Amino acid sequence: MDIGFIGLGNMGLPMARRLIEAGHQLVVFDTRKEVVDKLVARGATAATSPKDVADKVETVMASLPSLQASLEVATGANGVIEGSRVRRFIDLSTVGSAMAAKIHGLLAKRDIVQIDCPVSGGVGGAEKGTLAVMVSGPKAEFELLKPALDVIGKVFFIGEKPGAAQTMKLANNFLSATAIVATSEAVVMGVKAGLDPAVMIDVINAGSGMNTASRDKFPRSVLPRTFDFGFATGLMVKDVRLALEEMKQLGLSMEVADAVGRLWETVIAAEGAGSDFTAAIKPIEKKAGVIVGGKT
């Protein structure tokens, strides 16, 4: 397929690279020339704006860091909506169901189909092509795009309702956000009581407490204290806030979610939006007066 790809960040760049390696012809745009040049060297064509991308191809993908960025790229001045060839816009970003529905409605006025397509699995998953790819939109469009989406991960059709895939993504990321802070509190408890954190993680992973934080994040980024898993605290907090908004709109009980949300607000205040989200353990350690993986 001829595919446009906008947003070549930590997730977008490896996804775009995999599409090129699979034989797709890419037209790419990012505000940073150096990342565009990396893909041009692999055979991609550079574009000068989102509109320029949408003038050149019928299918445009975007991987962007914020709700506002997705809205502007899709529907703003010089955006995808102004393109002369584009027929479908695939948003790989996490924007929440309300924003996805808004973009869908605006693009529909120009006969452009919006495909909601958030992904999960981090930078490692993007590089290996093992992401969970959640899709909502017209079933016929999904079938057309599935061979390309298969290149970046395991594809799941969530439904035709605009924003349905966003709801699925927020449920997933709420659990991920909960796992890292809950595991941090559990391990800090053990260290405070004199337990070895490495042994704790081994036991948890052999028992019923095993989760994605204990299995992946702690061994790789927390215990070595590298805090380099590849997902920013600011992005995780964005996702948690979106999940809380959606739960509230649905009238749900939010006891656990509210507590998780408060913890992440503490983390972003203490560590900053640019920190790795595995640094969530640091404010918990500080309050307890211990360091996991180091000396008290």
Which residues belong to the active site? 169
Give the total residue count for the chain.
296
Q: Which residues pair with 99 in a beta bridge?
A: none
Cα–Cα separations (whole angstroms), residue 15 to 2, 23, 149, 155, 289:
15, 13, 10, 14, 41
42 CB contacts (<8 Å, ≥6 apart)?
A: 17, 20, 21
Do residues 95 and 67 make contact, with C-beta atoms less than 8 angstroms apart? yes
Give helix 164-192 / helix 255-271 axis angle, nearest 10°: 70
Angle of CA points 274, 278, 232, to nearest 5°: 30
